[in-house]
Structure 1
Amino acid sequence: MHPQQTNTPSLQTRDLTVRFGGHVAVNAVSCAFQSGTLTAIVGPNGAGKTTYFNLISGQLKASSGQVLLNGRDISALPASSRTHAGLGRAFQLTSLFPKLTVMENVRLALQSRRGLGLDMWNVWNRHKALIDRADRILDTVALSAKRDMQAAALPHGDQRKLEVALLMALDPAVYMFDEPTAGMSVDEVPVILDLIRTLKTQTDKTILLVEHKMDVVRELADRIIVLHNGTLMADGEPETVIASPVVQQAYLGLAPVEETA
């Protein structure tokens, strides 16, 4: 059952474009995303998926076009301001404070979300509720046993879990995951997928997922959009998009995609 749609998308791109010299890496991509949905962004290597993410989150400045969050044009905002406005992207947060412990990282993310500044000790002496919230988040991502480890010392899979923990602490309106299971062992992958499933139950949240593993896409996505050479090539329900000949050609490499006039 799909959540009730509203007139204003939670996130929208309008003719979003970026050029590097003579190369158009993302070409006039217009797409609207609604709360309560998980959209997978797929395509072959070099299709522009991560570049599109970078344009949305503010890591790259667009050559033209707009990014809107709940109808507000945030195109001119830097990445940090977009995060405070409600865009949460996992990779931005992994090395937030690499020399601090896992728990300290989560606590600081909670403080940032609530505008309490970074005076860790005074704040935490006065805010037991924040400590309890941090404990719950660490338990959710299965990092309670490593709460006192330095973030930089965590194995790769645990760093990915910490990314999700920090995102949960920031409580964004839009979650952006760029290949969240990349480099993880077979045993670690289900933890991340379970976390994303949990986030999907929050119908006021929007999730964007770049993922190469099609079994993950099929299981999690409500919708798939396909980029090819920076252009939006397909957009729809997973079964329909995956089965379409143009996606079979471009994504699975079964045959070259013919250029249209």
Structure 2
Amino acid sequence: MSSEQPVLETRGLTISFGGHIAVNSVSCAFHKGTLTSIVGPNGAGKTTWFNLISGQLKASAGQVLLKGEDITGLGAAKRADKGLGRAFQLTNLFPNLTALENVRLAVASRYSIGHNFWQMASRRTDLTDRAMAYLTQVNLAKRADYLVAGLPHGDQRKLEVALMLALKPEVFMFDEPTAGMSVDEVPVILDLIADIKRNQDKVVLLVEHKMDVVRSLSDRIVVLHNGELVADGEPAEVIASPVVQEAYLGASPADLASEQEVSHG
């Protein structure tokens, strides 16, 4: 692990709902140039941990630090301003605006163009050009003038990635980015995530159930189970570990030991 200061860190991050601890004292640091996949069975606490990091939920205990600054007390919008970018399982867009208008507003927000936000965003051709470049990047340029409400789900997911790219965050957080997409749409998103990773100056976090995606993209895998961090390391090592086989694939350590004995018998 790099000795430099992590871009993002959680320390003892915890949340409970009633008597149920959904995330239990999770501590983890993330350095630039690394793509980390967060995996685990349904109900493991992956999306809840994401919500704690991005500010959608308020922690019961623990801290979130961004570039060494404690941002635990900040809401989601303030965290986004400081460089946390988040794409959701469910799209988070302006449905009655066009795809271009959505991205242009994100570009305008990134460059803080002033208080007369809507008018300025529509009049500045440089903002429009930048927005179109992001739409082109996610293969949506031909649908720039479509209302978001009328776009297929896969296109809405691609548009959400374009919005996040336009905001130029230091941390990219993807929560099942290919969920609900057709087979031919998936490579567009995965290629975009791979491009962000190749940049080497960003942190990329990916919650994903598809292990082929996890294997192909990850530098590191973090495993949550019952709200606790149970494994953290290089993909091959983590995927092969008994605790992950049990938590994620449903096999018990005893079953795995038996299989190994048979295979070596």
**TM-score bucket of the superposed structures, by smaller chain:** over 0.9
5+ long unaligned stretches in structure 1: none
Matching of residue 71 in structure 1 with residue 68 in structure 2:
yes
- How many Å separate the matches in 1 of 2:121 and 2:178? 34
**Structure 2 residue corresponding to 1:214, chosen from 194, 211, 214:** 211
Matching of residue 122 in structure 1 with residue 120 in structure 2:
yes
Q: CA deviation at 1:92?
A: 8.9
**Structure 2 residue corresponding to 1:84, chosen from 81, 84, 90:** 81
Q: CA deviation at 1:255?
A: 2.3
**Pairing 1:1-261 to 2, within 5 Å after superposition:** 5=2, 7-91=4-88, 94-117=91-114, 119-125=117-123, 127-255=124-252
- How many Å separate the matches in 2 of 1:152 and 1:88? 22
- How many Å separate the matches in 2 of 1:195 and 1:227? 26
Distance 1:95 1:46, change over 3 A: closer
Q: Which amino acid aligns with 2:118?
A: M
**Secondary structure at 2:37's aligned position in 1?**
strand
State the number of aligned residues.
253
- How many Å separate the matches in 2 of 1:245 and 1:103? 48
- How many Å separate the matches in 2 of 1:256 and 1:240? 15
The CA deviation string for residues 226-250 of structure 1, in whole angstroms up to 9 with x for no partner, is 0000000000000000000110011
Q: Which amino acid aligns with 1:16?
A: L
5+ long unaligned stretches in structure 2: 255-265
Partner of 2:258: none
- How many Å separate the matches in 1 of 2:94 and 2:130? 19
Q: CA deviation at 1:113?
A: 1.0
The CA deviation string for residues 107-147 of structure 1, in whole angstroms up to 9 with x for no partner, is 0001111112453333443x433222111111110000000
Identity of aligned pairs, percent? 66
- How many Å separate the matches in 1 of 2:153 and 2:143? 13
**Secondary structure at 2:224's aligned position in 1?**
strand
CA contact (8 A) 1:175 1:208 kept: yes
Moved over 4 A (4+): none
CA contact (8 A) 1:18 1:64 kept: yes
Distance 1:110 1:93, change over 3 A: farther
Distance 1:92 1:218, change over 3 A: closer
CA contact (8 A) 2:242 2:253 kept: no
CA contact (8 A) 2:9 2:28 kept: yes
Q: Which amino acid aligns with 2:119?
A: W
CA contact (8 A) 2:121 2:127 kept: no
- How many Å separate the matches in 2 of 1:36 and 1:99? 36
Q: CA deviation at 1:37?
A: 0.5
Partner of 2:260: none
**Whose Rg is larger?**
2
Q: CA deviation at 1:5?
A: 3.6
- How many Å separate the matches in 2 of 1:122 and 1:163? 22
**Aligned alpha-carbon RMSD (Å):** 1.7
Q: Which amino acid aligns with 1:142?
A: N
TM-score normalised to structure 2 length: 0.91
Q: Which amino acid aligns with 2:82?
A: A
**Secondary structure at 2:200's aligned position in 1?**
coil
- How many Å separate the matches in 1 of 2:8 and 2:71? 10
